[in-house]
Every structure is written in structure tokens, then in C-alpha cells.
Homo-oligomer: A and B are copies of this chain.
Amino acid sequence: MKNSELGTENKISQFIKRSKELGLKVTPQRIAIYRELAGSMQHPSTEMIYKNIKDYYPNISLTTVYRTLETFERMGLISVVNTLYHAARYDANMEPHHHVVCVKCKKIEDIYDDSIAYSELDPQIDNYKILGYSVLFSGICEECKTLNN
């Protein structure tokens, strides 16, 4: 085993332990999916994970990969980088500002708060040419809080 994979194998042990605690069954598909994600630096999409697993696990179903990632995310084992991935959301307000999104109803509201600003915009992060940044808070809005009571 390569040295770089030791961390991944440790994460998988943790994952199995945590799955059992959560009452989730540990299947070969789930281990393969988690291994692929934990061993990747790519923040992969469902299809990317599916394609990689297919190489050594040709019978796995794409639907399973979708469901499994959804389950892992719901149980807090993994996270989604882009919570608002379902459809493009537009904004005519070009002033610098931030957003808060309700995880229940997907409503987005503006936040104007200078203390959030990261004014020291470092143009050299990882050799990127940085064009901008945004802060996205997630939470539960007042209406959805009320509905859940």
C-alpha cells in the first residue's frame, strides 16, 4: 500500500465505525463510494465517482451512487460543496454583498455586513488568479422554523 493511501484507509475505518453507530449497513458499494471520495482531492460529482468505481466494480449502478451520496450527506458523513446545485439563481444586484440560503425552502436573502468582508483579497491563493469571492450562510428561515414546530 502506498503511503498516501494510509490516511484514506484510516478514514474508511472511521467511516465503517460511524456507519454502524448510525444504523447504516456497511456494503461493498458504500465502502467503494466512500473510498473514492475520501481518496480524491477533486470534490467529485456523482458521475465522476461512478466512472472511477466502474473500473474495478463494473456492476455498480449509477442510481446506487446517487442514493448513497445523498444518504451519506443526510447522515452527516460527507458534505456537499455547492448546496444550491439544482438550478442557476440570478441576481441583478452587482454591489458586493453576501447571501444566506434556507436549507428547507431554498430561499436566498442578501446580507450586508462589512465585518464579513475579506478585504485582504490575496491574488495568489494556490497560484489562482482570484476574480472574487462570496460568503454563503446556510440555515433555516423564520417561516420554515415555524412550520417545523
Chain A interfacial positions (CB closer than 8 Å to B): 11, 34, 37-38, 40-47, 49, 69, 73, 76-82, 84-92, 94, 99-100, 102-103, 107-111, 113, 115-116, 118, 120, 125-142, 145
Measured CB to CB, the nearest residue on chain B to A129 is B140
Q: Contacts A38-B92, A89-B82, A109-B41: A135 and B134 contacting too (C-beta < 8 A)?
A: yes
CA distance A126 to B99 in the complex (A): 11
Copies of this chain, how many? 2
- New A-B contacts (6) at CB < 8 Å, excluding given A45-B90, A135-B136: A43-B90, A81-B84, A81-B91, A128-B141, A129-B145, A133-B138
A78: which B residues are within 8 A, CB to CB? 90-92, 94
Q: Is A109 a contact of B126 with CB atoms below 8 Å?
A: yes
Measured CB to CB, the nearest residue on chain B to A85 is B88
CA distance A58 to B40 in the complex (A): 48
Measured CB to CB, the nearest residue on chain B to A134 is B136
CA distance A116 to B100 in the complex (A): 17
Residue with the highest number of chain B CB atoms closer than 10 Å, among A78, A102, A128, A138: A128
A102: which B residues are within 8 A, CB to CB? 128
CA distance A76 to B102 in the complex (A): 26
* Shortest beta-carbon contacts, A-B, top 8: A128-B139, A82-B84, A43-B108, A130-B139, A38-B92, A133-B137, A81-B89, A127-B142
